[in-house]
Chain A
Amino acid sequence: MSAITLSDLDISYGDTKVVHAINLDIAEGESFALVGESGSGKSTVLRAISGLAPDWEGRISVLGKARSHGVDRQVARHCQMVFQDPYGSLHPRKTVDATLSEPLAVHGLSNRGPRVEAMLAAVGLDRRFRFRFPHQLSGGQRQRVAIARALMLEPKIMLLDEPTSALDVSVQAEILNLLKRLRREQGLTYLLVTHNLPVVSFLCDRLAVMRHGRIVEVASVAQLKAGALVEPYSKELLAASGGHAQTVST
């Protein structure tokens, strides 16, 4: 079954249409990347799926069920989002414990204490962090909390919006390893938005290149690794970050 299907999806902010006629099919268990420059509409696609950009036309189905335009509890249950900036996405006056318990309270799940503890262990945070506030954590620790928050409802799909671009290189490596391990252990489906092609190469199976709100090319990661992208714009993107790879390997 497909995890996410988008058919003829147009998304607008007010009068401005920012995403045009997107068609995508992401299989369950797959790790899929949307890449492109700022303003290409890649984050907007994630926001529409999660319900943060309600002004869309077309069809969004999550795990075979069509998504409604309003608040959709079923989608929220199975599909959770991690945001780019861990400094901005956690409530500054809520402890880690309160942040992690909130989704459980919203969805009326019990046994909150043990679940929070288990989740902290799963994302590699020590128990002593449970009653701290976000400002008492480092950037990497905060992103771990943000990932834990998304995983509290045991979703099947994770929407990752630039999960490592605000982090240092060595912390990025830790978070990428964590995401890879969680996906393996829990059989998650990832839809990742990034402009960092090496991250795609490490974490994903397939990618779509977006520009001006349209999908330019869909390719496998094998193609990316071999530098065999077809469209000129994708090649341009690859060249812009390809220089990085060359300096590492030579």
Chain B
Amino acid sequence: MARAISKRRTVIVTILAWTIGLLIFFPILWTVITSFKTEAEAIADPPSLFWFNWTLENYNVVNARSNYPLHFMNSVIISLGSTLIGLAIAVPAAWSMAFVPSKQTKNILMWMLSTKMLPSVGVLIPIYLISRNLGLLDSRIALVVILTLINLPIIVWMLYTYFKEIPIDILEAARMDGASLKSEILYILTPMALPGIASTMLLNIILAWNEAFWTLNLTAAKAAPLTAFIASYSSPEGLFYAKLSAASTMAIAPILIMGWFSQKQLVRGLTFGAVK
């Protein structure tokens, strides 16, 4: 084969891939850049890409508004809380299904998956009414509980596929060595599955952080995470582009970084192990 052409081909591929990559990334890049402009520069015509006076003013303003840190903390608490509670419930369940499989295991897994298919809007009213009657509208507790339940099937599934890769011999060896079930899970299974548990955690924090149905419908001012806070910017047209950009950048930066770290495991998690 004519491998001589491959050099030219590589150049073309490189240029094409970089162009498309930058194009796809551009809206994010533009948001980040705009966040460093003044409001006047943000809507200047023609817009400038780099040659403007870079300023951190917008970040100061956004941070100084007392409610921004609150919403940021709400996002952290809700996504971290729901993920940790979810893990605590899912690790034992996944252990059971991976290491003591029965005829029901497959059915239970599929059923858990099916709860994920329930469209949120179908149960919006009851959840709204229950939250209202319990006085949990606009509370972090309600959101932590709901996001835990929404993501529980994904957590169970991901852990299940990771646990399945651990040879049962090693757990049996631990049993022979006198380990109780608790020790077996704590000292053998968990450390061995740590990479899997970590990526499960990462993916679920991302999903919870970006969840934008329940967070929008069940919160107002107090418990609103960043998704709902950002949505409140939707009314004033074109007036606060720079501040909007700064707030957006802060809202997506942590998750963007986490997501880049977990991209490999993301595929497995999002396809319920169907594509690895």
Q: Do A and B come from one complex?
A: no
User: A residues engaging B (CB < 8 A)?
Assistant: none
